[in-house]
Structure 1
């Protein structure tokens, strides 16, 4: 073989060999790329955990849901409405409690002032109802109690019984005055005179008795009102009653 042809054959073989290697490398790279594409992708994510303190932040409640118009309230909505009503009533009771406490404190202060002064304020009308005689409308300095329980001045009762005795004696003009005495009328068969209570008209069956407890109370109240005790007058009911 001539030298030129042999040289060309060597060059051709080298070219073919290079192309073969290049094609082989291309096929290998293509296969690897396809395998890489078909391989499942693993995504590495970094999770960030946020740590918060309950003391610094409070959970935000979800906004209340607005019910549809005309729709019945849900159990949660009914509970919320009931809780709102109870809270409103509780606030009203708290306000009323404060007002009552203020009134009690005011009354306690007034009571303490009255005690410090040592005075007692009484309604004159209520007091007069118990210490005034219902016959003469004056203070009962010497109160006498009848069997029915009503009390009057001794002098008023004496005048009241004396008038009843005169009316009774006028029915028996044929008897002298000394006969018409409580100790003698039974001997002559004369019905005794009847004495009645000036207030309730109950028959008085025994001699009135002086009420010393009421007498002391009347005297104390009358002196506190600035009244002076009149002169004492002895009262006797012997001529009206046997005992």
Structure 2
């Protein structure tokens, strides 16, 4: 019996519906991981719901101000599984908010990763907060095995770009942000992994850059959304391949 509930192959992309912790050990090692990993969310100092959360996106809970909270798994288990799903020499980008940077870094180092850099995405439009409005999200740039220079060594830590959502996914990320990471740490034909693909922004970036993609999503609605976006990406022009990586100052729209 397979560990996934459904599998879709679209071009060079293979998408799995199911729990990443169960599916990752069964996959061939990938060349790169780029993922907005799940973690508990709170806003404006309002504490999150006291409901017990288990599994990855296994349930949708809400804080008492109506903010959606995603169920998650402990970072140590998550990062160990990602580490094991990558080739012996591979880069890894995982996104986190300010409250989760330190525990996620600690888990990554204990899993065997080494730390390259802390990158930042300026969303331009801030999230309200009583202790400074939040306009930044962070990305841990990690590596496994042999360290390699990125394809564009002039790329900067900070990426600026809007957050115009085009899907109903609550934590959708811009394709150009994910394309910056994919373009800098992989080659055409490489396999890019996102074990928590959501609306598949990383997958769309991989398609646009001529990479293959392996994505996992536990929510059936978001899985269908991801399949639709990947199919649409193959019908669109290969817009990034001729000028990769993305211009950090003009990434513009969101995905």
Query: Normalised by the size of structure 2, how large is the TM-score?
Result: 0.18
Which structure has the bigger radius of gyration? 1
Higher-helix-fraction structure: 1
Larger RCO of the pair (alpha carbons < 8 Å, separation 6+)? 2
Higher-strand-fraction structure: 2
Query: Normalised by the size of structure 1, how large is the TM-score?
Result: 0.18
